[in-house]
Amino acid sequence: MTGTFPNPAAIRLADLTVSHQRRAAVHHVSGCFAPGSLTAIVGPNGAGKTTLLRALAGLHRPDAGRIEGAAGQVALLPQQAMLDRGFPLSCLDAVLFGLWAESGAFRAIGRAGQRRAAEALVAVGLQGFERRPVGSLSAGQFQRVMFARLLLQDAPVILLDEPFNALDARTAAELLGVVRRWHGEGRTVVAVLHDLELVRREFPETLLLARDCLGWGPTGEVLTAANRLRARMMAEAWDDQAEACAA
């Protein structure tokens, strides 16, 4: 959980096109997430941010192009909206799924595993929550449980889909601290975010996506007024009925 990853593989996107529900969502994107980088993916709604993140996690197959270097080293935090927050599961059991790579479907999880899960809960500020059902948690507490699961996964590359949405300021600040720690340990972190002030303050690299890549590099150079205007104009021009990549 506290290991360092001085050299996780770079993740390269080579002319990547991914569709979601038969519509082009990510369009001919090329670039590289450098090892140990901390990158924000930003863009208007429907820009393909979540689709790209899920493609990096292996959940969407590219229609064209390639993703190199992501397989087998990625841990994903999904959007809260995609999970059943009322699911009848204890916090400890939810976190223990982070050991899937070790336990799989059948292997027993011993005391050492249970202790690591309990420690992960402590690390995200949920000491004593082991037996609490996740359905009884606030949005912030639930997100802390999901971060504890990520801690247990101990992956070199961490993908976060809107990790601070609908969280109170204190929870967001504490979880941001966890993200900083991951970055400090040399892990590659990629997060889909909407809060541009947060991105400017905390994320050195940014990928501005509007289905096409409008900019990828140092945040200050990417989040220019001109680029953001271009992204907005592209979002207004999208044809949601377009069946597939036309280029």
Partner 1 sequence: MSALWAPFLEFGFLRRALVGCLALSVAAPPLGVFLMLRRMSLTADVLAHGILPGVAAGFLLAGLSLPAMALGGLAAGLLVAVGAGALSRATGGREDASLAALYLVALAAGVAMVSMRGGAVELTNLLFGSVLGVDDGALLLMAGAASLTLPALALAWRPLVLECFDPGFAAAVGARGAAWHLGFLGLVVLNLLAAFQALGTLMAVGLMMLPAIAARHWARQVGGMAYAAVAIAVLASTGGLLLSFHADVPAGPAVVLCAGLGWAVSVVAGPVDGLLARLLRRRHLAG
For residues 156 and 10, the answer to whether their CB atoms sit within 8 Å is: no
From 73, 122, 78, 61, select the one nearest 101 (Cα to Cα). 73
Question: Is 80 one of the binding residues for partner 1 (CB under 8 A)?
Answer: no
**139-153 and 169-184 helices, crossing angle to 10°:** 10
Give the number of C-alpha atoms closer than 13 A to the C-alpha of residue 27, restricted to the C-beta side. Answer: 21
Which CB sits closer to partner 1, 14 or 89? 89
Answer for which of 34, 81, 83, 233 binds partner 1 (CB under 8 A) is 83
What is the closest distance, in whole angstroms, from the C-beta atom of residue 136 to partner 1 in the complex?
Answer: 8
What is the closest distance, in whole angstroms, from the C-beta atom of residue 113 to partner 1 in the complex?
Answer: 13
Label the pairing between strands 205-210 and 188-192: unpaired
From 17, 28, 23, select the one nearest 239 (Cα to Cα). 23
Residues 168-187 that bind partner 1 (CB under 8 A): none
For 118-157, what is the HEC assignment?
HHHHHHCCCCCCCCCEHHHCCHHHHHHHHHHHHHHHCCCE
Question: Is 128 one of the binding residues for partner 1 (CB under 8 A)?
Answer: no
Question: Is 110 one of the binding residues for partner 1 (CB under 8 A)?
Answer: no
Answer for which of 2, 3, 21, 240 binds partner 1 (CB under 8 A) is 21
For residues 5 and 225, the answer to whether their CB atoms sit within 8 Å is: no
What is the closest distance, in whole angstroms, from the C-beta atom of residue 60 to partner 1 in the complex?
Answer: 10
For residue 206, the cross-strand partners are: 40, 217
Which of these segments, 97-105, 176-184, 189-197, 219-227, binds partner 1 (CB under 8 A)?
97-105
Answer for which of 31, 113, 125, 133 binds partner 1 (CB under 8 A) is 133
Question: Is 225 one of the binding residues for partner 1 (CB under 8 A)?
Answer: no
Answer for which of 78, 113, 186, 217 binds partner 1 (CB under 8 A) is 78
For residues 147 and 156, the answer to whether their CB atoms sit within 8 Å is: no
What is the closest distance, in whole angstroms, from the C-beta atom of residue 51 to partner 1 in the complex?
Answer: 12
Interface with partner 1 (CB under 8 A)? 21-22, 54, 57-59, 74-76, 78, 82-84, 87-90, 93-94, 97, 100-101, 103, 105-106, 133, 135-136, 149
